[in-house]
Amino acid sequence: MRKVAIFRDPRELLFLSAEKYLSEIQQLIDDAVLQLLPGEKSYPECIHEAMHYSLLAGGKRLRPSLVIAAAEAVGGDRQAVLPFAVATELIHTYTLVHDDLPALDDDDLRRGKPTNHKVFGEAIAILAGDALLTQAFILMTHASLMEKSTEKNVLKAAHEMAQAIGSGGTIGGQVVDLKSEGKPIDAETLEYIHIYKTGFLIQASVRCGAILCDATPERLALLSSYGAHIGLAFQIIDDILDIVGDEKKLGKDIGSDLGKEKATYPALFGIEKSREKAESLIDESLKCLESFDDRAEPMRDIARFFVQRTF
């Protein structure tokens, strides 16, 4: 079995079960990417190489892990939601490729490797992002999902995901983030940016895994609240890591938020208060899972990992 070195800090020994789960999902997703995407050498090669390059550059696979963990928490199985889980990674990777472009964050390093546009040029990087997003919709409506779930659930999940990542979601958050650079902003706007830019995709990944496995409305509401809490906590920790993180571990340059005068939690509240806020959000997320049995353990582990992570 391939060894996936994603947890490298001795402090993270506490999170062995999260490590095991995430390593398993990482392997599953990497294999599924190869099965479900046009091959790297398919014509026209350059676009498929660019898509594979960013997708297989590493990455913790947190969003697909959440799709799968939510499915399993409500009694479903991972194979039933696999194409949808892969789709969330394609969506996430598209946002990274586009966000790194010179017109946006202009970053040189991502997942420990030169950014997509540095290797393939800007035009192909834009098109690779577009193709990843389009391919995600092919996978969110994949025939095998219809066999294992219902057509109604598949449609509902795909619709939810589209809502979460459009101008009323991820893109909206990114726009407000961009427009706020260099300007003083209030806590409400900052929370909007974080929830929309990062939180919605995380929350939708949880919800969609549960929807595909026919979760009851009560369970879905609890998972939805879990997703909202961990989504905001994730971005607060991301802000902190941009100041105190290790570039090698993170696989990207740090200090870029400060350099671009970006709106962040530490800039508004300081590192300590920001960490306290993230920890309290994770505590709240764990409360949402209290009525769930052992099958929700990976969701609990992932929530704890979100706040303890160093990469």
- Residues forming contacts to ligand GRG in the complex (CB under 6 A) are 59-60, 62, 92, 95-96, 98-99, 104, 111, 170-171, 174, 197-198, 235, 238
Residue number, 59 or 227, with CB nearest to ligand GRG = 59
Q: Judged by CB, which is closer to ligand GRG: 59, or 153? A: 59
| CA 132 vs CA 167, 171, 186: distances in Å | 18, 15, 34
Q: Closest approach of Cβ 202 to ligand GRG, in Å?
A: 9
- Residue 169 φ then ψ, to 5°: -145, -125
Q: Which residue, 112 or 144, has its beta carbon nearer to ligand GRG?
A: 112
**Least Å distance between CB 60 and ligand GRG?**
4
Say which residue the tokens 């026919």 belong to: 214
Nearer to ligand GRG, 153 or 235 (CB): 235
Place of tokens 């999940």: 157
Q: H helices of the chain, where? A: 16-36, 45-55, 62-73, 78-99, 116-120, 122-140, 143-148, 151-165, 170-180, 187-194, 200-212, 217-244, 247-250, 256-259, 265-269, 271-288, 297-308
Nearest approach in angstroms of CB 91 to ligand GRG is: 9
Cα(114)–Cα(24) distance, integer angstroms: 26
> What CA–CA distance (Å, rounded) separates 294 from 288?
14
Least separation, in Å, of the C-beta of 240 and ligand GRG? 12
- Which CB sits closer to ligand GRG, 198 or 203? 198
Shortest Cβ distance from residue 184 to ligand GRG (Å)?
Answer: 21
